Amino acid sequence: MNERQRVRRPGGRAARVGAAVHQAVTDLIGERGYGNFTVGEIAARAGVADSSIYRRWGNLETLLSDVALTRLNAVSPMPDTGSLDGDLRTYAAQVAREITGPDGPAVLHLAVALSSNGEQGLQASENLRAERTRQLQSMLDRARDRGEHAPDAFDVLDHILAPMYIRVLFGMGPLTTDYIDRLVDRLL
């Protein structure tokens, strides 16, 4: 490798910029709600040029989808406990902690808002859903490979995730361990 070739380092400038932009988006959604800020405001808060945001993400909706998916993957990765029952309980508990945490409602509102924001927002929302469904499917496929009967990925969304999201979005009570366990028990 010659002196001119650069090696990308995890945790380098690109990672710092990405983290700053993601945090700026999360903060702005929490303060103002979806649709009440611009790429320029995100850039100013993150300390980067707005051209950097457009170059990296292309448009606001793609950035917002990336923020939501990155957040979900970081705090709610697909577990592998050795059993579907354990995986679902662990995953549901992770999601519950995330969506009730300090930035959780903002990220949840973002995901909902994307789906109703025109063609680009709808595409970003579909990409977010498709990636998360793919990840759920990998957990379910592992269970099937172990010989377990596993539900469909959409059943997990309908019977575990959707009720938790609704409770948080509409302030319908806490997501207790007992409540989460009942959701998993009903599905299995």
Whether the predicted model's global pTM rises above the 0.75 cut: no
pLDDT less than 50: residues of the chain: 1-8
> In this structure, how many other beta carbons lie within 10 angstroms of the beta carbon of residue 69?
19
Per-residue pLDDT, 5:
47
Q: For residue 7, what pLDDT is reported?
A: 47
- CA–CA gap between residue 164 and residue 108 (Å, rounded): 11
pLDDT at 117: 64
142-147, long-range: CB within 8 Å, 24+ apart, which pairs? 142/80, 142/87, 143/83, 143/84, 143/87, 146/82, 146/83, 146/84
pLDDT at 2: 47
